[in-house]
Structure 1
Amino acid sequence: MTAPNRPRAVLAVDLGGTTMKGAVVDEFGRTLAQRTLLTPSHDVELALVELFTELRDLAVAAATIPVGAAVVTPGSVDESRGVVRYASNLGWQDMPLLDVLASALSLPVAVGHDVRSAGLAEQRFGAARGREDFVLIPIGTGVAAAVVTGGGTVTGATGAAGEFGHIPVIAGGEPCACGQRGCLEVYVSGAGLARRYAAAGGGERSSREIADRLGSDAIADRVWSEAVDVLAQGLNILTLLLDPGVIVLGGGFSRAGDALLEPLAERMTAGLAWRERPEVLTSELADEAGRIGAAILAFGAAGLGDVIDTWSAASVIGPSQATTRRSPAPVP
């Protein structure tokens, strides 16, 4: 017999090209169980079904009632139909992901874009809390943006809005994997920074290791400075187009702290002749934003979207994990 007082829970997965991060989240915003698996090189949808099946078993073992599921994924995503139009690192084109998952799980399912869903989480519980106009830009292996204006997320005509990393900012610049030249992602992403450092004779190092060498390594100083220049130019373009109240940076780059925020603030200010730059913050939710966004979508799919109104940042990520770094205040 079903116990009437068992809490409801959802199955939430943040799907990336490298890992699949899954969680069971109850109606109070608490994460009851987590699983992280490597994303396979093929048949990703089958591995995803297996992960969701395991999460459902974990939800039952935690004495909860699974009521919905959601996955957030990179690529061009038609969220209304639950179709991933194209995701190169997953090998998907016109993948009917919602139909695949709903059939396998027999639960209400939502499919969302990973960065836009992270933006939703950041708006509810993170650095953009209460903001109606902001941009979230996670900078990791690649770069994308969640654009929120007037309280609504911009998706675009084909679901491809937010490809911030593929704005060509350097005329005739270095080639990008997308086929263009001079894309922001070539210079600013973790992969781009590591590649440019190695090409300049610095050896094989991660972007975090390169940031740690600033001030003692001339090659690190040069490629980092060039990356900050390009990022400042891209953020100023967004500022002039969208007038965001705040820009939130996430991903590995944002963990460089003042080594990023201080020169970035100076160069943004220098590049905006007639207006102040917006405040630049680092994400409060960090790597948890996608998972939290997926949980929000899952409760919405289950018709229980109002339960998140009772959540707090402390409940969804734990009180010790919520931290924010701010750029220096704009000079009047």
Structure 2
Amino acid sequence: MPASPSIARAINDRLALRLLQQEGPLTAGQLKQLTGLSRPTVADLVERLAAAGLIAVVGEAGEQRRGPNARLYGIIADRAHLAALDVRTEGVSVVVADLLGSVLAEASVPIGDETGTGTAVEQAVTLVERTAKEAGVDRLHTVAIGAPGLIDPATGELRDSSGLPEWHRRLATALDDRLAARVLVENETNLAALAEQRVGVARDRDTFVLLWLGHGIGAAVVLDGTLRRGASGGTGEIGFLPVPGTDGLPSATACDGGFHSLAGAAAITDLAAAHGVAAPARHHEPHAAALVRAAVAKADTSGVATGFLDALADRVAIGAASVIAVLDPGCVVLAGETGRAGGEVLARRVRERLARMSPLATEVRASVLGGGAVLRGALLMARERAQDELFAPEERQER
């Protein structure tokens, strides 16, 4: 069935706005060239978007820089404001940004294990409100939360998972009540994969797996450009993967005995101790990641460091090989605190082992986004949802 005129207009509007987001300000002629639309259609959509308060003339281009054809149109960045949160067991980080994703303010607050649920929720909500105020933002349009745990695909809510603080699950409701904003929740590893896909090391890949090596172990699966969550939201719960080299098997409520017992933070700390690797504590970095970073720094001069990294690569390759055998993604990205600390030194070792273990050609890349991958992914998700709502209101009404 052909699209109705209103839906066709909405599709054209969204296409033009996406281009303005990606390319920056453009003239009507440039929009015509990039969209393939006719000159009258482009003129109509420019007028429509300007009337809706989504775009405005931001300058002029061309040699003469005069007249309607020279006008540069750009998205009005303060049409909506966004917040992204990275929620961890030990605290919360937040950024506030405009509709183009430009960060206006950021902050974080530690939340200790002894903090009560109500107090923890209040601290997190207050942090968002204070950061928005510092950014000069009166109202947030969309808030995206990245958190560990499973997201229920039916409700979009964080599921009750053992080992996670209760305040994690209550935070989204509290933000919705206090801010009157659209609040979204997504698994942190999935958001890191979204960031790597859009602005990170996997920009050239439609299919890849992101392996999260941090306090816990997780994976995100992107197939044919789409993030796959699974029937219950559990795609990538690789910490529960039964693997050789552990003392038992994981259970439905605990991943001890699974891949987590080989490559989680506690296991890496024990492995470093067994190899005689030590490292001073680093501010805001888990000790396991600090140990890996210290070993990487000495990898060319220390047999102890080399032995530790080789043993760690052996373990990581076991989990990665299992994923590769099922999905054949062609690319694995090592992320999380430990993956980032290992960098290309660890990635190269894992790559060499996978080449021996599997007939399936697989690149192994180290994350390039540093510690902000989850926040970057959350901000991207918030921006896309806000733009979907702002850019195509007629399409939604038609449906």
Q: TM-score of the superposition, structure 1-length normalised?
A: 0.78
For residues 246 and 83 of structure 2, the distance between their equivalents in structure 1, rounded to whole angstroms, comes to 45
Match of 1:155 among 229, 238, 241: 229
Instruction: For residues 66-124 of structure 1, give each alpha carbon's deviation from its aligned partner in whole angstroms, at most 9, with x where no partner exists.
Output: 21212111012215524221344432399355433211221111111111122112211
For residues 18 and 34 of structure 1, the distance between their equivalents in structure 2, rounded to whole angstroms, comes to 17
Match of 1:231 among 299, 316, 323: 316
Write out aligned runs for 1:264-303 (5 A). Answer: 264-273=350-359, 275=360, 277-302=361-386
Match of 1:14 among 86, 94, 105: 86
Q: Is 2:175 the partner of 1:91?
A: no
Distance 1:85 1:143, change over 3 A: same
| Equivalent residues of 2:89, 2:165 under 8 A apart | no
| Equivalent residues of 1:74, 1:113 under 8 A apart | yes
| Equivalent residues of 1:84, 1:93 under 8 A apart | no
Query: Which residue of structure 2 aligns with residue 319 of structure 1?
Result: none
Q: CA RMSD in A?
A: 3.1
Instruction: For residues 219-241 of structure 1, give each alpha carbon's deviation from its aligned partner in whole angstroms, at most 9, with x where no partner exists.
Output: 54444322211211221221121
- Using CA pairs below 8 Å that are at least 6 residues apart, which structure has the higher relative contact order? 1
Q: Which amino acid in the other structure matches residue 231 of structure 1? A: V
Query: Which residue of structure 2 aligns with residue 104 of structure 1?
Result: 178
- Identical counterparts, % of pairs: 27
For residues 84 and 103 of structure 1, the distance between their equivalents in structure 2, rounded to whole angstroms, comes to 17
Match of 1:169 among 243, 246, 249: 243
Write out aligned runs for 1:302-317 (5 A). Answer: 302=386, 304=388
Deviation, 1:61, is: 4.0
Structure 2 unaligned segments of length 5 or more: list them. 1-52, 54-75, 281-290, 392-399
Query: Which residue of structure 1 aligns with residue 7 of structure 2?
Result: none
For residues 197 and 390 of structure 2, the distance between their equivalents in structure 1, rounded to whole angstroms, comes to 16
Q: Which amino acid in the other structure matches residue 237 of structure 2? A: E
Q: Which amino acid in the other structure matches residue 368 of structure 2? A: E
Instruction: For residues 170-194 of structure 1, give each alpha carbon's deviation from its aligned partner in whole angstroms, at most 9, with x where no partner exists.
Output: 1554787964554323232343211
| Equivalent residues of 1:190, 1:207 under 8 A apart | no
Deviation, 1:268, is: 0.7
For residues 265 and 145 of structure 2, the distance between their equivalents in structure 1, rounded to whole angstroms, comes to 24
For residues 265 and 88 of structure 1, the distance between their equivalents in structure 2, rounded to whole angstroms, comes to 33
Query: Which residue of structure 1 aligns with residue 60 of structure 2?
Result: none
Distance 1:93 1:49, change over 3 A: closer
For residues 164 and 228 of structure 1, the distance between their equivalents in structure 2, rounded to whole angstroms, comes to 16
SS at match of 1:257: helix
Q: Is 2:164 the partner of 1:58?
A: no
Query: Which residue of structure 2 aligns with residue 261 of structure 1?
Result: 347
Q: Is 2:118 the partner of 1:34?
A: no
Q: Which amino acid in the other structure matches residue 273 of structure 2? A: A
Distance 1:288 1:200, change over 3 A: closer
| Equivalent residues of 2:292, 2:341 under 8 A apart | no
SS at match of 1:77: coil
SS at match of 1:100: helix
Distance 1:181 1:292, change over 3 A: closer
Distance 1:239 1:66, change over 3 A: same
Which has the larger share of helix?
A: 2
Q: Is 2:256 the partner of 1:184?
A: no
Instruction: For residues 105-147 of structure 1, give each alpha carbon's deviation from its aligned partner in whole angstroms, at most 9, with x where no partner exists.
Output: 2111111111112211221111122532111112122221111
For residues 111 and 130 of structure 2, the distance between their equivalents in structure 1, rounded to whole angstroms, comes to 20
Instruction: For residues 34-90 of structure 1, give each alpha carbon's deviation from its aligned partner in whole angstroms, at most 9, with x where no partner exists.
Output: 111113324456534543443334334433452121211101221552422134443
For residues 126 and 305 of structure 1, the distance between their equivalents in structure 2, rounded to whole angstroms, comes to 26
For residues 22 and 99 of structure 1, the distance between their equivalents in structure 2, rounded to whole angstroms, comes to 17
Between stretches 108-117 and 170-179, larger displacement belongs to 170-179
Between stretches 131-140 and 210-219, larger displacement belongs to 210-219
Between stretches 154-163 and 55-64, larger displacement belongs to 55-64
| Equivalent residues of 2:121, 2:174 under 8 A apart | no
Distance 1:10 1:53, change over 3 A: farther
Aligned length: 302
